[in-house]
C-alpha cells in the first residue's frame, strides 16, 4: 500500500493540469483496487490463488511462506516453475 501511495503522490505532484492529475489518479486507484496486495478475498478455497497473486504482485516473497506447510510450499513452487515454462 505504501508503494501505491507514493505513486499517487507522484501523480499529484506532477506539472500536469489538475483535471489530468485527477483522472489519472482515479484510473490508477480503480486498477489498484483489484490488486491482490490491496484486496484479497479470504476463503480457504482461494488460499493458493491468493498466495500466487501476492507473489506475482511483489507483495510477498517466497521466504514469507516459511510458516506454511511443506506441501503448500511445494505446490506453489511447482506452479511457479510451470508458469515459467509457458
Please state the pTM of the whole predicted model.
Answer: 0.55
Classified as helix, coil or strand, 86 is coil
Structural domain of 70: 44-85
**Residues 50 and 79 reside in one and the same domain:** yes
Predicted confidence at residue 38, as pLDDT, reads 64
To the nearest 10°, the Cα dihedral for 17, 23, 27, 29?
A: 90
Q: Is residue 18 part of a domain?
A: yes
- What's the pLDDT band for 25 if we cut at 50, 70, 90? very high
Name the DSSP class of 8: H
Identify whether residues 49 and 80 lie together within a single domain. Answer: yes
| Residues 12-22, mean pLDDT to the nearest whole number | 95
Concatenated DSSP letters for 21-85? HHHHHHHHHHHHTTSTTT-----GGGHHHHHHHHHHTTSS-GGGGTTS-HHHHHHHHHHHHHHHH
pLDDT band at 74 (very low <50, low <70, confident <90, very high): very high
Amino acid at each position: 500500500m505504501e508503494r501505491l501511495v507514493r505513486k499517487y503522490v507522484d501523480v499529484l505532484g506532477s506539472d500536469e493540469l489538475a483535471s489530468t492529475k485527477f483522472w489519472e489518479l482515479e484510473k490508477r486507484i480503480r486498477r489498484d483496487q483489484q490488486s491482490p496486495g490491496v484486496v484479497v478475498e479470504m476463503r480457504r478455497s482461494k488460499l493458493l490463488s491468493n498466495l500466487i497473486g501476492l507473489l506475482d504482485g511483489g507483495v510477498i516473497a517466497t521466504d514469507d511462506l516459511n510458516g506454511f506447510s511443506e506441501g503448500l510450499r511445494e505446490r506453489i513452487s511447482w506452479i511457479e516453475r510451470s508458469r515459467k515454462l509457458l
